[in-house]
Chains A and B, each alone.
Chain A
Amino acid sequence: MTEKKKILVIDDDPEICDALSEILTDAGYEVFTALDAPSGYEMFQEMKPDLLVLDIMMATMHEGLDFAVEIRKKEGIYGVPILIVSARPPVEKGYGRTLEEDLDWIQADIFMEKPVDPEELLHNVRLLLKEKK
């Protein structure tokens, strides 16, 4: 039995954090949660997770995106995989008019739009952690 994979969930909605935590724990992962980017960053340094699950809209409209960019800068392209889960509408200040345009630079491996299908979410988590099913 290998060590459990660590997943860091960052979402400003505590209930969503809890739910994801339950679901991912149930699926056999070790889960940490943070409600905003700064505390998420601390947690990231401390826990060295194998996967990040990120919300975009937290205290600001694109906190999650900025956070992802920071992590990528620090870790490089082969660093920790990032799964973004967001309800962000496709039109926002300072970014492209559409999600498609934004995806060109969004530093995420997979982008999922809320509401997500939990089965699909688990599938993507396994994919990013390179676990054979």
Chain B
Amino acid sequence: MNTLLVIDDEESTRELLKISLESDGYEVYTAEDGPSGLRIFSERMPPIVLTDIKMPGMDGIEVLRRVKEINSDAEVIVITGHGEMNLAIKALQLEASDFINKPISDAALNVALRRAKERIWMRNKLREYTENLECMVKETTEELQRINEFEHNLIQVSMDGIIANDRDGDIIIFNEGAERITGYTREEAISRLHVSQLYAEGEARKIKKKIYSSNFGGPGRLIDHEADIITKSGERVPILLSAVLLYEEGREVATVGFFKDMREIKRLQKELMQRYEFEHNLIQTSMDGIIANDPQGRLIIFNEGAERITGYSRQEALQQLHVRQLYPPGVARKIKKKIYGPEHGGAGRLINYEVYVLSKSGECIPILLSATVLHEEGKEVATVGYFKDMRDIKRLEKELIDRERMAAMGQAMAGVAHGVKNILHGMKLGGFMVDRGLAEGKESLLRKGWSLVGKNIERISRLTLDMLSYVRSNVPDYEPCSLNAIIEEVCELVAGQAAARQVNLLRELDPSLPLVEADAEGMHTCLLNLVTNAIEAFPETGSGGVVTVISRTEGDDKVSLQVKDTGRGMSPQLQKEIFQNLFSTKGARGTGLGLAITQKIVHEHGGSITVESAPGEGSCFTVTLPLRHPARRSQRPEEL
């Protein structure tokens, strides 16, 4: 910018200009003729050249021309002498930036230089602008291309069909979605298919009308119009059409249509409807009662099951019933507390809670209630309750119990029949012996026969008593009693029996045994059975043996009673059978009911009975009883 080349054949002028320009801050090169000036110019490329016009050899005009050839942007100021105006003009035509007259005044020189510099600045700016502009144009073009491609791709891959047609109805855009919906390929459609061929007869015209009218989204637009497309194979496909007219310079050039394939939507809608209906039906036809109430207790759902259970119709319930009225007085509040409390399935839930509902006719109906609080955006909006009608279940339960009782009775009968058979067998043999003894005059046979008959009469009495005690239905009378005292009684009772078999009957009683809440009579029966069994584990011939009865305190809430014998013991198989089957190892002597009765009584007391035994090792029966009789925790519904 601050470099100058001065070309002048006059040394004085050169020096003058050099001094003056250098003092103005320019860096100045000088040359005394055109060729050397051009050489310097080529080397140094000064932006501004001052050249004399009239020079020997190459004149200023030629220098100007050459300089402009080398660098058209160089500013050339020509120095003219008097009367050289024509040359000056020529120079200007050759794009010299200015001329100054000799003698050169400082002012004129400065003006010329300033102009030259301005021109250079302008040109630079302009170049910058141009470059910028080019850049911007390039970028914009690329952007446009990208957008175009993007739009093209968008159009192409859109799930919807996009079809554009020109004013004549010829198709000019036909995307993949359109291919999918219509069955035509793009090649088949573009410029070969008329848009009206996509619709049923007359339909295209109607659509066109609608696009022009202002009632369907404004003039030139159509929004969500339901129509059918006729596919290549002649099938009708339901679509949702939106269309718009495209204008260019105020002229209508094309119509673009967007097609939504309604098959999928219709299918989804159908599914949704079905699902809704399904759920609605599910709620309505559920065997269980389903009710829902808002936070104020107004009923908002009341299904058929609820109608069945309560006797109210849905309408009655929704219009005039408060959820409170479905339960006996005060129960609704209690239920609400339980729903919010943590103990039945967590806060906000209630699971399988037994309660009564109050039917329209005032009947109390047992149900199993499960309830849950529904929230929306953190606010409680409703409580849903599921009622399981327990009437049938209760009936079934009762039937089951009855059936079990019948089965047990059947088993008992079989056991009894077995016992009776054995007794009869003995009686028949005895009777036969009596007959023979009488016929043959054999007194010993007569005696033996008669004694056998007598023993069997004894047995049948015992069997009858056992049966009575097994089926006795009198309610046990639980009161504190001393088990040690009962053990003493029992041992006294069987002392004779034990002595007959030479069995040593021992007692190991805990003197500090606490009183136990029990049915004294029942306990007596249990112990008598166990001790009798133990004694009878030994042969009648009296081979000697030991039976030990033990009482113990177990912790601070239980006691245990044990009856141990040193008899023949039992196989594991037999240990299972003695409780299960009403069968006896004593042949006709046992009724097979003793242990069954014992177990029944122990269980009624909330206790347990176990046996430890092995063949040849003797047996030990252990009865464990709680000190307090557990309050019979029947799952009774809420007290009314």
Contacts and interface: CB of A to CB of B under 8 A. Distances in A.
A115 B448 contact: no
A13 B587 CA distance: 5
B426 A15 contact: yes
B631 to A, nearest CB: 38
Contacts of A46: none
A14 B428 CA distance: 16
Contact of B583 (A15, A23, A55, A61): A61
Tell me the dominant secondary structure on chain A's binding face. Answer: loop
B533 to A, nearest CB: 14
Contacts of A22: 433, 445, 448-449
A126 interface: no
B406 to A, nearest CB: 16
B614 to A, nearest CB: 14
B419 to A, nearest CB: 8
Interface in A1-32: 11-16, 18-20, 22-23, 26
Interface in A46-103: 55, 57-61, 85, 87-89, 91
Interface residues of B, number: 35
A85 B427 CA distance: 15
Given A13-B589, A87-B422, A57 B432 contact: no
Contacts of B194: none
Contacts of A14: 540, 587
B429 interface: yes
Interface string B500-513: 00000000000000
A59 B422 contact: no
B442 interface: yes
A127 interface: no
B414 A116 contact: no
Contacts of A11: 587
B132 interface: no
Interface in B524-582: 539-540, 571, 573-574, 577, 581
B522 interface: no
B425 interface: yes
Given A13-B587, A13-B589, A26-B442, A118 B432 contact: yes
Contacts of B585: 12, 58-59
A118 B432 CA distance: 7
A16 B587 CA distance: 9
B421 A87 contact: yes
Interface residues of A, number: 31
Contacts of A115: 421-422, 424-428
B629 interface: no
B604 to A, nearest CB: 28
B181 interface: no
A60 B588 contact: no
B428 A89 contact: no
Nearest to B431: A118
B455 interface: yes
Interface in B437-475: 440, 442, 445, 448-449, 452, 455
Nearest to B615: A59
Nearest to A12: B587
Nearest to A55: B587
A57 B577 CA distance: 13
A58 to B, nearest CB: 8
B136 interface: no
B433 A117 contact: no
B418 A87 contact: yes
B429 A19 contact: yes
Contacts of B574: 59-60
A114 interface: yes
A23 B437 CA distance: 10
B60 interface: no
A114 B448 contact: no
B448 A18 contact: yes
A18 B444 CA distance: 13
B161 interface: no
Q: What 3 pairs between A and B have smallest CB-CB spacing?
A: A13-B587, A115-B424, A118-B432
8 contacts: A15-B455, A16-B426, A20-B429, A58-B585, A87-B422, A115-B428, A116-B428, A118-B428
